[in-house]
Amino acid sequence: VEGRSPVFEAFRRYDLAGSADQRPTQAAIAEELGVSQGEVENCLALARRRLYQCVTEVVGESVDSPEALKEELEGFFPS
């Protein structure tokens, strides 16, 4: 998609699609973006890492210990 990073576009189409029945396959996304399925997988991993880093940074500003940060992050990213 013109003007958008493939990382963001893969993340938007796959992880932000809504319910699982609305989510396209990674193969379909790869075809739409003109990249390999492996590249889509890499884009998703990178986008998720970036999201985790951003959330960690923002939440980290509002807690007073590493333990509190870990506890707060579990609410966003359950194991």
Token pair, residue 73, equals 């992050």
Average pLDDT over every residue of 41-69? 95
Cα–Cα distance between 56 and 33 in angstroms, integer?
Answer: 30
Q: How confident is the model at residue 18 (pLDDT cuts 50, 70, 90)?
A: confident
What mean pLDDT is reported for the chain? 91
Q: How confident is the model at residue 72 (pLDDT cuts 50, 70, 90)?
A: very high
All residues at 6 or more sequence positions from 69 whose CB lies less than 8 Å from its CB, including other chains: 56, 59, 60, 63
Tell me which residue has tokens 């991993």. 45
All residues at 6 or more sequence positions from 26 whose CB lies less than 8 Å from its CB, including other chains: 14, 37, 40, 41, 44
